[in-house]
Amino acid sequence: MAELTRRLQVLLDEPRWTRLERQARRRGTSVATLVREAIDLAFPSVESTAAEAATRFLARPPLDLGDWTEAKAEIEESLTRGLS
């Protein structure tokens, strides 16, 4: 975990504070931890979103592109038509 070096003061109304406090007790964690987690969910870092995108991309099944010989012939034919 990164070193925590910045302090933030936030004023909350009573219902929000109560919700946070109750959830922190349920999870056995601090209100500060809940706030940090909420920030990470609402504003993910570029690194984490890129990593998640890469993971989703790599988990996809491979595309069926058909027979390479046929595809190559179609590409060559298309290029030949474009030149004439």
State pTM to two decimals: 0.56
> What is the pLDDT, as a whole number, of residue 84?
62
Determine contact, residues 63/70, Cβ cutoff 8 Å. no
Alpha helices in 11-63 (DSSP H): 14-27, 31-42, 46-59
Determine contact, residues 71/65, Cβ cutoff 8 Å. yes
Q: What is the pLDDT along the chain (84 residues), one digit of tens a residue?
A: 689 999 999 999 999 999 999 999 999 999 999 999 999 899 988 788 888 889 999 999 988 878 889 989 999 999 988 776
